[in-house]
Amino acid sequence: MHTKLIQIDSANIDRNAIKEAADLIAAGELVAFPTETVYGLGADALSPEASKKIYAAKGRPSDNPLIVHISKFEDLVAIAREVPPQAKKLADAFWPGPLTMIVWKNEKVPCETTGGMDTVAVRMPNHPVALRLIEESGCLIAAPSANTSGKPSPTEASHVALDMDGRIPMILDGGAVGIGIESTIIDLSEKTPMILRPGYITKEMLEEALGGEVCIDPGIIAADSMKKPKAPGMKYKHYAPKADLVLVEGKTDRVVAEINRLAAKKQEAGLRVGVIATDETRDRYQADLVFSIGAREDEDAIARHLYKLLREFDDQNVDAIYSESFATPRIGQAIMNRLLKAAGHQVIQI
Ligand code: TXA
Ligand code: MG
């Protein structure tokens, strides 16, 4: 299959391009498109055949449900068995935006879209191209991240092209995304709202909007690794680079010294070593490849650059990667959740 790559200016959306993409979606085909978090691989969410194509293109396990992307709150009402009162509050506070809500589904949503679950994940993305595509297609759009299963989520159209070229008919290239890590997922199907995947919208922000307690799925907390995560996708070893990744945590000077020591040992053994540093520390490392993820104080930049860096290390064929730790105040939990998974929870504390 030939994959058409179309550049699209978010500030001045080309009608013909959107129309072409929307027609493909309406015809049950796949289109990759930008959102504010990561690129999505979209298909008609209410068509079982279209959903199946997503799983095939990604090589995704069929028990891992998809997020349904909508453009207005009524779309949620249309596919939910009942709309919990918290959903309206959270939509008012955070939609369109990087928040996915899980509610009980009704019969309109096929099991193929929800991986056999009786609940459905719903999100209204904050990206003009995504919103226009949903509206123009007349569909609700099921979209996982547009990467091959097990690879880091794509934050640029070129990442999508590397994974999906020849597998889907169209990619809309809207440039680099703004946030760079996937949406926060909150489960509203039970009494106490529960975060199943941390993201840009934090627990504190959710609690403030709801005026009540929000808990975190114990299955996603590293120390509780015996418990199974509630979101099926969180149990897979996601976001894994080809090289062995190890995080080093502690005071900056000691982290730099330890990473340099470990890197030298690997290099002596003939291996190629990469380091994930910050603007402040990048010049202090000796390794084959040293990338800065951004300034340490700039949490947004760290989130935005993480997946791109992991992909670059893959391209450059390094054997081992050492990374500083980024438990920053606001989105640090989301960043560390992704990084720890990429590292298979290998952490050195010094
Ligand atoms: O930011 C995002 O959320 C991006 C963009 C494209 O919107 N999408 C995304 O989709 O990250 P995906 O498929 O890569 O991740 C969806 C996650 C998976 O971990 C899946 O298991 C979980 O959501 N999920 C979906 N429906 C669920 C449900 N009904 N119950 C529990 N977890 C669910
Ligand atoms: Mg994904």
Interval 79-133: pLDDT, tens: 999 999 999 999 999 999 999 999 999 999 999 999 999 999 999 999 999 999 9
Interval 246-285: pLDDT, tens: 999 999 999 999 999 999 999 999 999 999 999 999 999 9
Q: Give the percent of the chain with pLDDT over 70.
A: 98
Question: In this structure, which ligand is nearest to the CA of 229?
Answer: 1
In the prediction, which pLDDT does 223 show? 59
Task: pLDDT band for 237, please (50, 70, 90 cuts).
Answer: low
Question: In this structure, which ligand is nearest to the CA of 303?
Answer: 1
Nearby residues for ligand 2 (ion, Cβ within 5 Å):
145
In the prediction, which pLDDT does 59 show? 93
For the chain, the structural domain boundaries read 4-220, 244-349
The structure tokens listed for 73 are 């709150």
Question: Hey, is 90 helix, strand or coil?
Answer: helix
Residue 125 CA to ligand 1 center (angstroms) comes to 13
Question: Hey, is 133 helix, strand or coil?
Answer: helix
Residue 144 CA to ligand 2 center (angstroms) comes to 5
β-pair type (184-187, 99-104): parallel
Cα 212 to Cα 188: distance, rounded to the nearest angstrom: 13
Measured from the Cα of 153, ligand 1's closest atom is 14
Closest CA to 330 of 292, 305, 297: 297
Ligand 1, residues 31, 62, 67: which to mutate, most atoms within 8 A of Cβ? Answer: 67
In the prediction, which pLDDT does 234 show? 84
In the prediction, which pLDDT does 281 show? 98
**What architecture is the 244-349 domain classified under in CATH?**
3-Layer(aba) Sandwich (3.40)
Measured from the Cα of 199, ligand 1's closest atom is 1
Residue 120 CA to ligand 2 center (angstroms) comes to 16
Mean pLDDT of the chain: 95
Closest CA to 288 of 300, 277, 273: 273
Reported in sequence order, the residue ranges of the chain that DSSP labels E, i.e. its strands, are 4-7, 31-33, 40-44, 67-69, 99-104, 119-123, 141-142, 170-173, 184-187, 194-197, 215-216, 244-249, 273-277, 289-292, 320-324, 347-349
Residues whose beta carbon lies within 6 Å of some atom of ligand 1: 35, 37-38, 40, 64-67, 100, 102, 114, 117, 119-121, 123, 125, 143-145, 182-183, 185, 196, 230-234
Residue 251 CA to ligand 2 center (angstroms) comes to 32
Judge if the upstream peptide bond of residue 65 is cis by omega within 30 degrees of 0: no
Residue 315 has pLDDT above 70, yes or no: yes
Cβ-based neighbour number of residue 262 at 10 Å: 18
Interval 179-204: pLDDT, tens: 999 999 999 999 999 999 999 999 99
Cα 76 to Cα 84: distance, rounded to the nearest angstrom: 11
In the prediction, which pLDDT does 236 show? 63
Closest CA to 325 of 264, 254, 269: 254
In the prediction, which pLDDT does 329 show? 87
pTM to 2 decimal places: 0.96
Sequence letter at residue 344? G
Nearest CA residue ID for atom 20, ligand 1: 233
Nearest CA residue ID for atom 17, ligand 1: 233
Measured from the Cα of 117, ligand 1's closest atom is 29
| CATH fold group of domain 4-220 | DHBP synthase (3.90.870)
Question: In this structure, which ligand is nearest to the CA of 117?
Answer: 1
Residue 272 CA to ligand 1 center (angstroms) comes to 34
Q: Annotate 195-259 with DSSP letters as a single string.
A: EEE--SS-HHHHHHHHTS--EE-GGGSGGGTTSPPSSGGGGS--S--SSEEEEEES-HHHHHHHH
19 φ/ψ angles, rounded to the nearest 5 degrees: -60, -45
Measured from the Cα of 39, ligand 1's closest atom is 6
Residue 349's Cβ-count burial label (10 Å; 0-12, 13-18, 19+) is: exposed
Residue 121 CA to ligand 2 center (angstroms) comes to 13
What separation in angstroms does the CA of 7 have from each of 34, 172, 224, 242? 11, 6, 44, 30
β-pair type (40-44, 141-142): antiparallel
Residue 311 has pLDDT above 70, yes or no: yes
Cα 41 to Cα 157: distance, rounded to the nearest angstrom: 11
Interval 54-78: pLDDT, tens: 999 999 999 999 999 999 999 999 9
Nearest CA residue ID for atom 15, ligand 1: 144
Backbone region of residue 210 per phi and psi (left: phi > 0; alpha: psi in -120 to 50; beta: other values): alpha
In the prediction, which pLDDT does 227 show? 81
